[in-house]
Structure 1
Amino acid sequence: MTVTQEDALYDFLENATEPFTIDDVISFIRMVDSQGTRRLSMEISALVNARNLAFHIDKKHLISRRGCFEPVRFVIKPSRLEIMNGILIPGHRCVPFANPILLPHEYIFTWKGEPIPLTTTEAPPEEFYPYYGLFGEEYAPQYIARDNPENESAFNADPYEDPPEVSLHTLDMRNIYRETSFVPDDVFSVQTIDWKGGTFELERVPKDTWNQTELYDWFEAAEAGFRDAFKYKGPGSSTEEQISYAYWYGGKRMRELPAYALDDFIYNKTEQIETVPYGIETRFWYAGKEIPDQVHYYADQAPPDRTLVEEVLFRHGIPVSEYAVQSYIRDALFRREEDPGKILRRIVPPVITLNRDEERYLSRYIEDVYAEFSEQDSRFAEKAMGDTRLRVGELHTAVADLMARLKRADIDSSWYPKHTFVILSQIQGHAASVLEDLDVDEAPSESELEAIENSLDSMIETYEDMKDLIDESMDSFRRCNLSVVKPGAAAGPGLGGMVVQATLGGTDVWRRFVVSDQYSLREVHRIIQILYGWTGKYQYSFSTEGKSQDTAGQSGSPLDPELKISDLKSQSIMELWYEYGSKWLVKILLLFNQEMKDDTAVACISGAGASPPESLGGPLRFRRFVSALKHETGPENKLARHELGADFDPNAFDLEEYNGRLARAFSETR
């Protein structure tokens, strides 16, 4: 598929409001660009499926997002703060009913057919973040920064600290709130007038207009929609994609009124769905569960209709477009470097072995593009963005090199930090996107380059932190006296082991350990106590069900503490809850089998975060105190130091110390 044909595909999808077939798309594309249409049907299908660009009605027919969400109605529930101030913050409220290429301040809202005027509202950015959370918590600052140039400059001034105040475009709702006697818990019924252009009509719905039975029907459809989106699409490429598919799988009822506002449903109503970390990003997921490390959802970063250059690189674990490759070549021009071999070694690190034909083909491609770019080399543009492109290219090369080395390393991946390959893939994907953005003849604006530099600083810092954690994990692996086999391999008689992960609910604290499958739950309790530095003064229990809330509450029948891990495996129980006292709930995952030399051995193999004191009072207080530690002075900081300890470091995790404690504790009894 040519670039013109791909652009035509997106034009078709942006304008299609009725069900269509792939043949309909081909007919449209042929009117724009008729070359190379033999494989067009396969390429279109692959692109639509890989990037989730449309929904499948049946085996033949599809419908675009515009066709699905226009002119559907949905609900916005203004907060008390918005009503008091006579405003409405569009934020994430229109996901997925607006074209995702539009920014919230570009939407147009009408009341009785007339446009609602805009005003500006000033406040610290943290007061606005909750209105952008559905985009992903990590993206909220970016949406606010892009609301206006002043905000962008304020965020760029210090990439590590939020500005004290920002100004946001909001809807001026004073007259509407006044004339409708709008009160808290009233909502707006919102109709999507133009999905592509982001136009919406508001209509007030007084509270208690809809009965609870009708709302419960929508609630059930919404929960089922999210569950199916997780089941069939995984974490997806973004939270917006997850939400779009939740509405699709939720069926017609989810796209009808009465309904809850989506943010109200996710954050206040459902107990089945929550926001979870996914590498350096966030996603929605089953409450109390983690997105598995083993599933690599970033394998399709490169387009499914790959060119030969992209296909060669993709086969070797470098999922980039030709635009990113061309950015490397522009970087070589900036360096005044002509050797195609050196350029190729930056695109494909030496640890990756190309065959002779692949190397010859890529080298020839580099030479041809280099010659073409040399004729139009712009010194001024290169001076403006050359250093930035050089840095992002070096980061992308380093990440590709590290990922290749990890895949070749003789070490079980269970020893790596959580989401190692997901995080590295995300960094690689973001770096590749920046390379694509810098494959241009004219430099971006100064503010855009500044934003790219700040984002690049953050990516480099994350990469370096991740590399340090990986190095520590590999050192620990080499020191540990275990016989490592591939996950899932059958263990010999008496040598069965299990890799277990224990995550403290409501926190970022987790531990991963390997233990004999002949150990009982009572012994797992002892291991958790040691790894969390607790004393065992509270009662504990294990169950197959629990609630992942700040106040722990067990909802399943307790398991016999004498049950062995092998007993759990035989019953296909791979997830369970450990409740300690009334405040702490630990999610236990039996990850996979592991062969061991010593069937009485136990070892901590990875983890993160310092655990809270057991008498602290739960994860909510722990998170509040950890947040207070970021401020050097103040009463909250003083209280946090008193409760957590004067020298408490939230990031502290000493693997050798934990293994020393385990060795002393279990050598005495086994």
Structure 2
Amino acid sequence: MLKRDFPYETVNTFLRTCTKPFTSKTIQRLLRAEGERAALREVSDFLDSHPSVFPLSDGSYIARPGLFTDAYFSIKPRRFEVDSGILIIGHRCMPFVDPEMLPHELNFTFAGMPVHKKCIEIASDDVLDMYRLFGEEYVPQFLGLDPGNEDRDFAENDFEIPNRIFLTVCDMRALYKRFDFSYADRLSARLVNWDEGLIELRPIKEMRSNLFESTEENELRERWYDVLETCLLSTIEEYGPCHSIEEQLVCAFFGNTDILCISGCGSLDEYLMRTKNVVFAEYGVETRLWKKGEECTASSWRDRFESGIDVSETLYGEIGIPLPEFMLDAYILDSLYRRDKGVREIFKRIIPSSFVLEEWQLKTFLLHLETKYVILSEKYNRFTDFNKGEVRSSALKLYSALVKLICELDSCGLPADFFPQQDLVILSQLFAHTGHLVEALLYQENLSDKDLSAASASLEGMTFSFEDIEEILVSVMENKKKDAFSIVK
């Protein structure tokens, strides 16, 4: 378990710029030089759970900057982009850049000069499929976060995308004109700086005089598509749905950058338009890349329930439920907002009635709860908490219902494959999304009315989804109980 004073900022700063393999001892020496300390086991645990760090076969690690710096990828501009002198960024730099950076935050250069950006009005149908790798369910949010749409509130219309939107794009008129860029040409891209999201562009002219002519460059690109497909299918087989399409792509490129990140590569967009074996598939309320004709599922619902959770950072050892510490803080703040009379009310909301604690667990947890309650109540200000208190309360109500259903599933004795798989996936996704929402409400200060309205709308949709799957999953458990009763009778 990582200590609260673990030097996260120092280590993360190192990881954002390190382009060479490193070890836990490398980090430990860095911390000592900065006057900070951490046990070697702590450093290793942190690296093993970090989404931007990958273990190598010799026991060392490599971070995303080391994996993708100087890596080549390809972008094939559409006909309307060439005609308009623009380049839409969208998902086209995935998975090479920082996944936390939005498309408009990336920077491009050509021949050592920056490529300027501009905001244009465009038909949404022209750009939607260039954001698809973020997950179809998240496209409205990515478009809504573009500076061109900062005055629009997509949440007001239930995140329905309008027919025309404003979008930040690269101004490519000079480059296209200088190289007499045609519809058959493409852009070779090289990641220069991962931390800054800096990408170098270079035009590549199509050398074929007609579509039926074969050149060495085209044959190389055809082989590249075959290799990418093999890597993607292997990733799906070995790692499953992962946490996102972006993570699936990272896994496909990891260990294969020497054959995939080459100057003569094709583009992901072109591959996905031509493949007959990999498709976008529904994964609960989300989207993943998957094998055509197969259902996209996780190996077990318990794996999905615990995915993304470091159990050592939770109260699992105390109460047998992997409840994060921040969630306990949220329940206490909610209790103060509700003006409850004591911690017993909090206990009832956290621990499902069907979940029985042993005596030592009960005493340990209540002591922990009471201690934190005293600390937080001394600093609590209901006036400053009032705006987000109601949204947080609703989010915790849903979270408690999710935990209750998960505990019932865990104790019913039925195997995972006995239940509808997509409903189990949705359950795990709702659990994760609700947790993230509560965490945001807890740590993000000065949330605007617009932010709270969007959170409330999202919460309402998740609650409806939960009610649908709860009815189905509870029905399966009850039918099993009836069958067992009939047999005993």
Q: TM-score, normalised by structure 1?
A: 0.66
Find the residue that maps to 2:120 and give its secondary structure: strand
In structure 2, the partner of 1:496 is none
Larger Rg: 1
* Deviation (angstroms), 1:417: 2.7
Alignment partners' CA distance in 1, 2:351 and 2:484: 35
CA distance in 2, matches of 1:434, 1:137: 20
1:263 CA displacement: 1.7
Deviations 1:309-333 (A, max 9, x none): 35445x43x4x42112211111111
- Of residues 382, 393, 398, the one that matches 2:396 is 393
Alpha carbons 1:279, 1:423 under 8 Å: kept: yes
- Counting only pairs closer than 5 Å after superposition, residues 436-451 of structure 1 correspond to structure 2 as 436-440=439-443, 442-451=445-454
1:6 partner amino acid: Y
Structure 1: which 5+ residue stretches go unaligned?
Answer: 485-670
Larger mean Cα displacement after TM superposition, 105-114 or 475-484: 475-484
CA contact (8 A) 1:274 1:285 kept: yes
1:266-287 Cα shifts (integer Å, max 9, x gaps): 2x23222211111111111222
Give the counterpart of 2:280 among 268, 275, 279: 275
Contact 1:151 1:167 in 2 (8 A): no
Look up the equivalent residue of 2:105 and give its one-letter code.
E
Could you tell me whether the CA contact under 8 Å between 1:116 and 1:173 is conserved in 2?
yes
Report if the CA contact (8 A) 1:43-1:305 is conserved: no
Q: Tell me the alpha carbon deviations over residues 469-528 of structure 1, each in whole angstroms, 9 at most, x when there is no partner.
A: 3345456667779999xxxxxxxxxxxxxxxxxxxxxxxxxxxxxxxxxxxxxxxxxxxx
Q: Is the 8 A contact 1:43 1:304 kept in 2?
A: no
Q: 1:40 to 1:78 in 2, by over 3 A?
A: same
Distance across 1 between alignment mates of 2:8 and 2:411: 36
Q: Distance in 1 between matches of 2:444 and 2:93?
A: 36
Q: Distance in 1 between matches of 2:444 and 2:281?
A: 40
Change (3 A) 1:173 1:310: farther
Q: Distance in 2 between matches of 1:149 and 1:203?
A: 27
- Cα offset, 1:388, TM superposition: 0.6
The residue that corresponds to 2:14 in the other structure is: 12
After TM superposition, the structure 1 = structure 2 runs for residues 81-480 of structure 1, keeping only pairs within 5 Å, are 81-148=80-147, 150-151=149-150, 153-159=152-158, 161-208=160-207, 211-266=217-272, 268-292=273-297, 294-296=299-301, 297-301=303-307, 303-304=309-310, 306-307=312-313, 309-312=315-318, 315-316=320-321, 318=322, 320-409=323-412, 414=417, 416-440=419-443, 442-474=445-477
Residues 415, 477 of structure 1: 8 Å contact kept: no
Moved more, 96-105 or 155-164: 155-164
Q: Contact 2:279/2:292 (CA < 8 Å) preserved in 1?
A: yes
User: Conserved in 2, the CA contact under 8 Å of 1:221 and 1:251?
Assistant: no
1:211 CA displacement: 2.4
Give, in whole Å, the separation in 2 of the partners of 1:36 and 1:310.
Answer: 24
**Which amino acid counterpart does residue 77 of structure 2 have in structure 1?**
P
SS of equivalent residue, structure 1 residue 91: coil
Give the length in aligned residue pairs: 477
After TM superposition, the structure 1 stretch with the greater mean CA deviation from structure 2, 61-70 or 361-370, is 361-370
Q: Mind listing any 5+ residue stretches in structure 2 that lack a counterpart?
A: 209-215
Amino acid at match of 2:231: G
The Cα offsets for residues 20-79 of structure 1, whole Å up to 9 and x where unpaired, read as 11211222344557456263245235424xx4x322332322211110100111101111
Per-residue CA deviations over 1:281-313 (Å, capped at 9, x if unaligned) read 111122222233543442444543724635445
Cα distance in 1 for residues equivalent to 2:121 and 2:338:
45
- Determine helix, strand or coil for the equivalent of 1:343: helix
* Counterpart for residue 77 of structure 1: 76
Give, in angstroms, the shift of residue 80 of structure 1.
1.4
- Per-residue CA deviations over 1:523-543 (Å, capped at 9, x if unaligned) read xxxxxxxxxxxxxxxxxxxxx
SS of the residue aligned with 1:188?
strand
In 1: Cα distance, 2:308 partner to 2:274 partner: 38
Distance in 2 separating the partners of 1:123 and 1:88: 12
CA contact (8 A) 1:238 1:283 kept: yes
Secondary structure of the residue aligned to 1:419 is helix
Structure 1 stretches (4+) deviating beyond 4 angstroms?
30-36, 410-415, 471-484
TM-score, structure 2 normalization: 0.90
Question: For the residues of structure 2 that align with 1:291 and 1:365, how far apart are their CA atoms?
Answer: 40
Amino acid of the residue matched to residue 289 of structure 2?
F
Please give the alpha-carbon distance, in whole angstroms, between the structure 1 residues aligned to 2:80 and 2:257. Answer: 33
Counterpart of 2:3 in structure 1: which amino acid?
A: T
Secondary structure, aligned partner of 2:7? helix
User: 3-state DSSP class of the match of 1:214?
Assistant: helix
User: How far off is 1:361 after superposition?
Assistant: 2.1
1:436-483 per-residue CA deviation (whole Å, 9 max, x = no partner) reads 112238342222222211211211111112123334545666777999
Distance 1:167 1:265, change over 3 A: same
User: RMSD over aligned Cα, in angstroms?
Assistant: 2.6
Contact 1:230/1:285 (CA < 8 Å) preserved in 2? yes
CA contact (8 A) 1:228 1:249 kept: no
CA contact (8 A) 2:225 2:266 kept: yes
Structure 2 SS opposite 1:283: strand
Kindly state the Cα deviation for residue 146 of structure 1 after the two structures are TM-superposed. 0.9
Secondary structure of the 1:197 match is coil
Query: Which residue number corresponds to residue 2 of structure 1?
Result: 3
**Equivalent residue of 1:465, what SS?**
helix
Check the 8 A contact 1:393/1:435 in 2, yes or no.
yes
Q: Residue type of the partner of 1:13?
A: L
Name the stretch that deviates more: 472-481 or 290-299: 472-481
Q: Percent identity?
A: 27
Q: Distance in 1 between matches of 2:245 and 2:444?
A: 33
Quick one: distance in 1 between partners of 2:40 and 2:298? 39
User: Residue 349 of structure 2 aligns to which amino acid in structure 1?
Assistant: R
Q: 1:38 to 1:56 in 2, by over 3 A?
A: closer
Classify 1:112/1:34 alpha carbon distance in 2 versus 1 (closer, same or farther; 3 Å). Answer: closer
The alignment partner of 2:442 has SS state of coil
Residues 73 and 414 of structure 1, relative CA distance in 2, 3 Å threshold: closer
The 8 Å contact of residues 107 and 199 in structure 1, kept in 2 or not, is answered as yes
Shift of residue 8 of structure 1? 3.2
Moved more, 66-75 or 107-116: 107-116
More helix by share: 2
Whole-angstrom distance in 2 between the partners of 1:163 and 1:276: 24
Q: What is the CA distance between 1:199 and its match in structure 2?
A: 0.9
Q: Summarize deviations over 1:231-286 as a string: whole Å, max 9, x none.
A: 332211111111111111434111112111112112x2322221111111111122
Partner Cα distance (1:276, 1:82) in 2: 28
- Counterpart for residue 213 of structure 2: none
Larger RCO (alpha carbons 8 Å, 6+ apart) = 2
Cα-to-partner distance string for 1:191-234 (whole Å, 9 max, x where unaligned):
11111111111110012475232113322321222123223322
Partners of 1:467 and 1:225 in 2: how far apart?
A: 37
Partner of 1:44: 46
Separation in structure 1 between the aligned mates of residue 252 and residue 397 of structure 2, nearest angstrom: 38
Q: Deviations over 1:405-428 (max 9, x none)?
A: 223336665553332222111101
* Alpha-carbon distance in structure 1 between the residues aligned to 2:408 and 2:101: 40
